Structure 1
Amino acid sequence: MLDDVETRSVSPVFVGRAVELTALTEALAAAAAGEPQALIVGGEAGVGKTRLVEEFLDAARAADAVVAVGGCVEIGADGLPFAPFSTALRALRRALPGELAAAAAGQEPELARLLPEFGDVGHAPSHEDSTARLFELTVRLLERLAAERTVVLVLEDLHWADASTRHLLSYLFRTLSRGRLVVVATYRSDDIHRRHPLRPLLAELDRLRTVRRVELPRFTRAEVHRQLTGILAAEPEPATVEAVYARSDGNAFFVEELITSHSCGCELSESLRDVLLVRVETLPETAQRVARIVAEGGSTVEYDLLAAVARLPEDDLIEALRAAVGANILLATPDGDGYRFRHSLVREAVSDDLLPGERSRLNRRYAEALEAEPGLVRADERATRLASYWYHAHDAVKALPAVLRASVDARKRYAYAEQLQLLERAMELWDEVPDEVRHTLRPLDYAEAYPSCGCEPHCTPLSHLDLLAEAAVAARLCGERERALKFVKMALRMLEEDADALRAAWFWAERSRMVSSVGRGNGWAEIAKAQELVRGLPPSPVHAYVLAIAAGWGMVRRPGPESLETAERAVEYARLVGDEPIALKARLTRGSLLVAAGDVETGLAEMREVLDRSAAAGLMAEVMRARVNLGSCLEDLGRSQDSVEVCEAGIAVAVAHGLRDSEGWIRANLVDSLVTLGEWKAARDHARSVWRSTQSAKPRGAAALRLAQVAVLRGDPAAAREHVAAARECLGRKDPMAQYTLPMAEVEVLVAVAEGRTADARAVLAGAADDALVTGKHRYVWPLLLAAAAAEADALGLPAAEEGRAGALERIALLARRVAAPAPLWQAYSLHVAAELARARKGDDTGRWAEVVAAYGTLAAPYPVARARHRLADALLAEGGRREEAGELLRAAHAAAVRLGARPLREELELLAARARLSLTAPVPAGPEPADEGFGLTPREQDVLNLVAAGRTNRQIAEELFISPKTASVHVSNILAKLGVATRGEAAALAHRLRLLEPVPQP
């Protein structure tokens, strides 16, 4: 109705911003070619972000792109969950109704959490993967919409974004990989103080090469001159330009405000706030009143809601709006249903200018109008806005239930960060509300945490403990584990005076999870306290929950009879009280423990049944946990190919349901199996995917460890050290778990050996000895023992390695005797370690190495098989004869090393083949063994090499061989060059392995 109102203070000329607009239009062109684009546009308030985006959107529409704009909504101090995405999806629904429906087909109940028009959300239990699933579905929805057409998605005012919006935007920018999509997000840079929640997101996005930052500077004096010329439609006076430029400091919005104030004869005020208010104060009184009402209603106020609050005759309201729009203070929203301030700075100034009582009264009127007629605002905003209005009306009796209802709404939308904020507000209001009002509130209506664990009856009034339980779960689900721990501690302090053992046990179990998550310990003391509290009480879901947590703790840290018994009891209690989800959780743990105990087929059958029943019941969190544990157990059993199949199927399910965190855990297990199978490139790709896209620290740490392992086996110890450091940072130091400490020790041993630090390698093994004896961790122990034993064998004869050798060999042998080998693969590893120990003590034994090669047989473990063949070939050549058999072994091992990219092993094989004059590409006819020329070493160099290997210095070599130290140095340099090594230690080690040494001359 106000389309004909003239805008007088905005320049019709688009000033400057050529570089920034070019960046946006280039992104549009790239997206049209099929490469999705992500941009962040920042600048201080009033610098011209909105005008730049409007110019870009005009260009996008001219190029036939579909445009959707959504803005973050500020309601008081609160952000509305997912507001910009909801608004943008609503715009896409209007523009592409059929296409959006097709893209969302089958996932409407989940996507309704963002866009209620998709249907009812329904109720789904909260778990860690809920939010990730919603985020993944949103990204895939946008990719499908942008598959055949260019879509431009603009998300404005990120400085007001709620946590859920920030997380979704981060996820979108990190995972967007296809489609003709441009995502542009804007924010006000001067609002981003040191502790602003947007700052970490901006830092994260800066590290993404796929995200481009566009920062808008203030106008120069020349640009201000052009802006004033456009506004005034005439050349401005030089004095005016100077005055406005000095006062505005190049801020485009201030330029408009100042020149308008000057044009209407208003004196320039001394404060920015006065400058912002001066044009509002020139409005008619009714228009000023309407502006104040709009300022307190939020970022945007619907016309019908405004009419209900203003209580003006419709003609008067329209006239007031016409005046405010005509003065370029208010703007109509694109859909024509509401009004907002043209610039948020003016809204803030008007709101701040309200008297405290005036602000409370306006919020009360908003709340009363919305309660009387809920349809005045959209359903997805109603609960949050009503809670905000009542809260800012300072009416605790009305605000508390409204805030609680809004928290339930946020929980249903997986907006756990916003749920947490609302629950904290509810706790703030709690003591201000009379008991008779609080007693009308029921846990069944507002709480989910306790019912899921059986703290009943629901007919009791809602308590402060209920709120703390809800807040703890919400904080855990949104990643705020420190805050979750704080709420749990508060509850436990309250329970010191309340003899409610079940509630206390529930909180102690939660505390165990949080303590482990934040790296404050392993959580066992808290579990023990929870078990003590429920001991002797009648069966309840809390019993089952506590026992299931305890059994799960034992499964990964202390697998054995005690943990198995705990899992059995958890299953029994869960069945007694009819809690199927906890029963399945405990049964899965029991299956894993049965496998570790040696009852393999029973355990695997149990785990597969849990997987099937969880899938049938729609318990996706337990489905994913079953996939993770089953894949891990199969790898424990040396069934790597079976593990790969389970993991790949699990990844497909996780991707289909948007369960990114579960996907990370499964991929981490998949990486283990791929490393065993020799698929190192695929393993590295999956590990990098886990590192990039998974939030949980432990799968990221496991992925980093496998990247380290592959790096060192491929001959890059420096990269391996970096990956180990990253893994250690992820995993922390207060909750060491053998499944992580043992692979870390293996890599550190390999790196130390590669760098000639034998003593350090021994120290690493000694430090890992206790973890090596943990039941069920044999799959991590055998590779570590093999690395340590091979290191001792390769150092045989090196004087520098003699000290401590006997103790190191005894430690390896002792551990090898005590570690289980429950499958053919690990039995082969056991023989392999024994053969390396024998080589370390007395040299190669052909019979032993033949037994090792036979034990590996057709097992799919190409790297240890190649190493065993190498050693057997070396032993055969040392015996003399059997050259053809040795050649076949070398060729097979070399082909495997080349395929794997295992450069150190490949080079050793090539050196051995060269010394033996054997071809690595084709067999050679049998014949007499040629004389070994020792890699071209002269007799004098051979003598020098013997002394180098004995640890002699250049001066000592010179004295023994009656030559000058300078000549000895030249000989050493020649030896290093001929052997292709960099250090004397490497030369000595290589000479020992290739048997280039003669008896050392005795002094």
Structure 2
Amino acid sequence: MTSSAALERGRAAYAEHRWLDAFTALTDADGERSLDADDLDRLANAALVMGREAVGLDLAIRAHEAYLRIPDGADPAARSAAWIGIYHLSRGDMAQSNGWLARAARIADDGRLEAASGLLLIPRALGALNGGDPATAARTFAEAIRFGELHGDREVTVLGRLGEGQARIMLGETVAGLSLLDEAMVAVTAGEVSVVASGIVYCSVIGTCHLAYDVRRAQEWTIALDHWCGARPDMVMFSGQCQAHRAELYCLHGAWTDALDAARAAQELTRRGDWSAAWGAWYQQGEVHRLRGEVGEAEAAYLRANETGFAPEPGLALLRLAQGRVRDARSLIREAAGDVDPATRRQLLPAVVEIELAAGDVGAARLAADELIAATPADGMPLMQAVAARAEGSVRLEEGGATGALVQLRRAWALWEELDAPYEAARCRVLAARASLALRDDDSASMELAAARAVFVELGATPDVLRVDGLARSAHEPARSRTPLTRREIEVVRLVAAGKTNRVIAGELYLSEKTVDRHLSNIFAKLGVSSRAAATAFAYEHALI
């Protein structure tokens, strides 16, 4: 039969990535005469890319059934069933996913289709990856790569490299993992795979780069994704994820208004069909509101992120800390950092350090900082080194080692500056000011606080401005009110002066008696005293009461 004009227009538009035109023309052609399997597949892809999920899945099923009716259609039928199963797997629709993947496996087995079997390794490997078994996932993805290369199946090869790269990074093999991701991206940017596979690789690679602390790679691929989406203006799928990634980068670089705009754009695209963008869209909005001190808005955004099935951590835990709900913050971050893969835990450890220090448990903070440092190679990503150096500096400061803390904090500040991350750099300056005060270097402390305050004011980080102002006031107090004690040690000595026993102090500060004993030992050593009475006298003499 001759092709209709609508069909030819639809095929041409599809080849040129004009999804709306392709969808409209192919739908018209389908109304004239039922499309064949390949054209139904094109129409299904156009619908899915435009965010019309229900229509796209119905068309994908029609394409699958059409393949089954034609000679030599077993291989594309198996592949289409596998893709439908993978789509449902990504949605969390496990019953439907299992059904379609089982159908794909049966068709492949009946027809002895080894090539189709390669694609079926991808969801099997994803199951291991999502189930917390990256080692098995890495082996299965590697097997998929071998299948793809053997049968010339570029999509299986690319998806295999993507998955193995993610698994290697989760196993702590960052360099090998990133190399695999780069290789997958080369195939995508060369246009060697379909639009759906390309979008999956783009978004997954960027997310994994953030997980690996490789902000430069994440930025490079986000720019590429932005251009890719921009060249396909009708595309909804993947466009929302692109906006969420942009929001994360804007937030890091201090462009908080732009971050909010990108997060809201991602939310709108989520409503239009790019459901994978939901968590990032709401989480990044929550982050900006938290940093600005807009507690209600931050909490609402984090709770919306939580509705996607993924915990809004460490953001929500840090919000609880900002609210003074230290026990809740501690519970949230400990739960989130519990049974997770090494890469995800590494992302949460900086918040663990911050929250444990706020809770007065310097020992727990030290363990988390040591774990973070052990996971950070000397030639690791600058972002990873910056995070580790700040964690080490903040713990040393609370341990009473102001000199060593200052070295680490200045190194962290330089790294954050290099990364163009003004908020994080300013936070390091505040910690450096505290270390300078402990070393009686008032001039350096004042300069650090002034520089940090200017950044916080420009960003609109109101809570940090207030904290800096409080520190600045204490820096200008009379010398007799200065003390080498940490904030937690001051709390302990005040309660000692009030006549509280160690057990009562432990109850009021939510600490163990052993931790209170340790704080008292540190207090006695720093003050050069040997009794509670002498510590009380120091507290009154230095206006701590």
Answer whether TM exceeds 0.5 for this pair: yes
Distance 1:444 1:535 in 2: 18
2:324 pairs with 1:700: no
**Letter in structure 1 aligned against 2:403:** T
2:452 pairs with 1:893: yes
Contact in 1 for aligned 2:209/2:217 (Cα 8 Å): yes
Distance 1:125 1:382 in 2: 13
Distance 2:354 2:10 in 1: 54
2:422 pairs with 1:865: no
Distance 2:125 2:170 in 1: 13
- 1:777-808 CA distance string (max 9 Å, x none): 2562234224323422xxx4xxxxxxxx5886
Q: Provide the residue aligned with 1:134 in structure 2.
A: 19
Distance 2:465 2:317 in 1: 20
- 1:466-491 CA distance string (max 9 Å, x none): xxx7xxx7xxxxxxxxxxxxxxxxxx
- 1:802-833 CA distance string (max 9 Å, x none): xxx58865774686477556433223322322
Contact in 2 for aligned 1:384/1:406 (Cα 8 Å): no
- 1:168-224 CA distance string (max 9 Å, x none): xxxxxxxxxxxxxxxxxxxxxxxxxxxxxxxxxxxxxxxxxxxxxxxxxxxxxxxxx
- 1:663 deviates by 1.9
Q: Provide the residue aligned with 1:656 in structure 2.
A: 231
Over 3 Å counting, the alpha-carbon distance change for 1:524 and 1:382 in structure 2 is closer
Distance 2:132 2:192 in 1: 30
Over 3 Å counting, the alpha-carbon distance change for 1:779 and 1:766 in structure 2 is closer
TM-score by length of 2: 0.71
- 1:760 deviates by 0.8
Distance 1:423 1:825 in 2: 43
Over 3 Å counting, the alpha-carbon distance change for 1:721 and 1:516 in structure 2 is same
Contact in 2 for aligned 1:407/1:418 (Cα 8 Å): no
Over 3 Å counting, the alpha-carbon distance change for 1:889 and 1:748 in structure 2 is same
**Letter in structure 2 aligned against 1:654:** C
Q: Provide the residue aligned with 1:690 in structure 2.
A: 266
Contact in 2 for aligned 1:570/1:586 (Cα 8 Å): yes
Q: What pairs up with 1:185-584 in 2 under 5 angstroms?
A: 381=28, 383-384=30-31, 411=44, 414=47, 443=68, 451-452=75-76, 454=78, 506=82, 510-511=84-85, 513-514=87-88, 516-518=90-92, 540-555=114-129, 558=132, 560-584=134-158
- 1:572 deviates by 0.8
**Letter in structure 1 aligned against 2:218:** S
- 1:585 deviates by 1.9
Contact in 1 for aligned 2:402/2:439 (Cα 8 Å): no
Q: What pairs up with 1:739-754 in 2 under 5 angstroms?
A: 740-741=310-311, 744-754=312-322
2:451 pairs with 1:912: no
- 1:126-157 CA distance string (max 9 Å, x none): 9xx98xx624x79xxxxxxxxxxxxxxxxxxx
Over 3 Å counting, the alpha-carbon distance change for 1:403 and 1:759 in structure 2 is same
2:345 pairs with 1:720: no
Q: Provide the residue aligned with 1:389 in structure 2.
A: none
Q: What pairs up with 1:40-51 in 2 under 5 angstroms?
A: none
Contact in 1 for aligned 2:170/2:341 (Cα 8 Å): no
Q: Provide the residue aligned with 1:590 in structure 2.
A: 164
Q: Provide the residue aligned with 1:343 in structure 2.
A: none
TM-score by length of 1: 0.41
- 1:209-252 CA distance string (max 9 Å, x none): xxxxxxxxxxxxxxxxxxxxxxxxxxxxxxxxxxxxxxxxxxxx
Among residues 171, 192, 203, which one is paired with 1:628 in the alignment?
Answer: 203
Q: Provide the residue aligned with 2:356 in structure 1.
A: 789
Over 3 Å counting, the alpha-carbon distance change for 1:903 and 1:947 in structure 2 is same
Among residues 383, 386, 400, which one is paired with 1:825 in the alignment?
Answer: 383
- 1:408 deviates by 7.4
- 1:601 deviates by 5.3
Q: Provide the residue aligned with 2:334 in structure 1.
A: 766
Distance 1:759 1:423 in 2: 50
**Letter in structure 2 aligned against 1:745:** E
Contact in 1 for aligned 2:162/2:184 (Cα 8 Å): yes
Among residues 678, 687, 690, which one is paired with 2:254 in the alignment?
Answer: 678
Over 3 Å counting, the alpha-carbon distance change for 1:812 and 1:653 in structure 2 is same
Distance 1:911 1:853 in 2: 22
- 1:626 deviates by 3.2
Distance 1:951 1:520 in 2: 58
Structure 1 residues not aligned, in runs of 5+? 1-112, 139-163, 166-377, 387-400, 431-440, 456-468, 474-505, 733-739, 797-804, 918-928, 935-944, 957-994
**Letter in structure 2 aligned against 1:834:** E
Distance 2:29 2:6 in 1: 14
Structure 2 residues not aligned, in runs of 5+? 483-489, 501-538
2:11 pairs with 1:122: yes
Distance 1:830 1:745 in 2: 19
- 1:536 deviates by 13
Over 3 Å counting, the alpha-carbon distance change for 1:606 and 1:663 in structure 2 is same
Distance 2:139 2:26 in 1: 50
Over 3 Å counting, the alpha-carbon distance change for 1:417 and 1:824 in structure 2 is closer
Q: Provide the residue aligned with 1:847 in structure 2.
A: 404
- 1:571 deviates by 0.9
Over 3 Å counting, the alpha-carbon distance change for 1:528 and 1:565 in structure 2 is farther
More strand by share: 1
Aligned residue for 1:616, secondary structure, equals coil
Aligned residue for 1:745, secondary structure, equals coil
- 1:704 deviates by 0.8
**Letter in structure 2 aligned against 1:876:** S
**Letter in structure 2 aligned against 1:850:** V
Over 3 Å counting, the alpha-carbon distance change for 1:625 and 1:381 in structure 2 is closer
**Letter in structure 2 aligned against 1:578:** G
Among residues 612, 632, 640, which one is paired with 2:215 in the alignment?
Answer: 640
2:342 pairs with 1:775: yes
- 1:544 deviates by 1.0
Contact in 1 for aligned 2:346/2:372 (Cα 8 Å): no
Contact in 1 for aligned 2:154/2:193 (Cα 8 Å): no
- 1:774 deviates by 0.7
Distance 2:445 2:428 in 1: 12
Look at both structures and tell me which one has the larger radius of gyration over its CA atoms. Answer: 1
- 1:589 deviates by 2.5
- 1:903 deviates by 1.4
Over 3 Å counting, the alpha-carbon distance change for 1:556 and 1:776 in structure 2 is farther
Distance 2:59 2:457 in 1: 59
Distance 2:112 2:344 in 1: 36
More helix by share: 2
Distance 2:492 2:180 in 1: 63
Over 3 Å counting, the alpha-carbon distance change for 1:416 and 1:863 in structure 2 is closer
- 1:547 deviates by 1.2
- 1:582 deviates by 1.8
2:334 pairs with 1:756: no
Aligned length in residues: 484
- 1:1000 deviates by 7.2
Distance 1:524 1:1000 in 2: 65
Over 3 Å counting, the alpha-carbon distance change for 1:624 and 1:872 in structure 2 is same
**Letter in structure 2 aligned against 1:134:** W
- 1:678 deviates by 2.9
Distance 1:529 1:423 in 2: 14
Distance 2:432 2:382 in 1: 20
Distance 2:98 2:57 in 1: 27
- 1:856 deviates by 4.0
Contact in 2 for aligned 1:453/1:545 (Cα 8 Å): no
Over 3 Å counting, the alpha-carbon distance change for 1:579 and 1:642 in structure 2 is closer
Over 3 Å counting, the alpha-carbon distance change for 1:903 and 1:520 in structure 2 is farther
Distance 1:423 1:946 in 2: 65
Aligned residue for 2:342, secondary structure, equals coil
Aligned residue for 1:770, secondary structure, equals coil
Over 3 Å counting, the alpha-carbon distance change for 1:385 and 1:591 in structure 2 is same
Contact in 1 for aligned 2:337/2:348 (Cα 8 Å): no
- 1:419 deviates by 7.4
